[in-house]
Amino acid sequence: MAGAAARGPRLLPLLLLPLLLLLPLLLLLPPAASTQPELRFRPPAEAPVRLFTEPELARYDGQQEGQPIYLAVKGVVFDVTSGKEFYGKGAPYNALVGKDSTRGVAKMSLDPADLTHDTTGLTEEELKSLDDIFNNVYKAKYPIVGYTSRRILNEDGSPNLDFKPEDQPHFSIKDEF
């Protein structure tokens, strides 16, 4: 019995040695998966969003090779360059780009008279169509690069205090002025 007791203290360092060798490896492992739900959000835009006047937006009409193609709907400017086959020079929907074409999108019209921001007189069905296309096509498929000045500013140039950006829920226009 005395022999077993004497071996016990010498055996303890031998048992601890593997633990000491494994400890640095355990510290290198990634943390265990959290039980909390993963937050999902759209990553921030690569470039900051900006304000577009009508003449500035007109420069992005798909006519110049290598230049981005922008389209505004409901005052939100989308980069539709990835859909160049639809919006580029000579493409079927090129008439919509370089401007706010809200009315044309709502009416599904390429008539130059409809290629405007003005939604006055649109039917309930056209307004519903506009919202569906805005949310399920443009917002779902194309990055937002800015807003038209008409969406952010009132006619007199003062800030539109009701403005809420589509992709920045914590934005306050008061912080911008």
pLDDT per position as a tens digit, 28-51: 666 655 555 554 544 554 566 788
Phi-psi region of 24 (alpha: psi -120 to 50; beta: other; left: phi over 0): alpha
The letter for the amino acid at 11 is L
Fold of 50-176: Flavocytochrome B2; Chain A, domain 1 (3.10.120)
| 173 band by pLDDT with thresholds 50, 70 and 90 | very low
Over 70: is that where the pLDDT of 113 sits? yes
Confidence of residue 155 (pLDDT cuts 50, 70, 90): confident
Sign of CA dihedral 100, 103, 104, 105: positive
The pLDDT confidence band at residue 95, using thresholds 50, 70 and 90, is very high
Rounded CA separation 166/50 (Å) = 13
pLDDT digit string (tens) for 134-152? 999 999 999 999 999 888 8
For 126, the token pair is 């056209």
Cα Rg of the chain, angstroms: 29
pLDDT of amino acid 159: 83
**Residue 23: C-alpha distances to residues 15, 31, 176 (Å):** 14, 14, 51
DSSP string, 20-39: HHHHHHHHHSPPPPPSSPPP
**Whether the Cβ atoms of residue 145 and residue 51 lie closer than 8 Å to each other:** no
Which stretches does DSSP call E strand in 53-154? 70-73, 76-79, 144-148
Distances (CA, A) of 149 to 37, 69, 74, 80, 158: 38, 18, 11, 19, 11
Threshold 0.75, pTM exceeds:
no
E strand or H helix that includes residue 50:
strand 50-52
- Predicted pLDDT at 165: 72
Domain ranges of the chain: 50-176
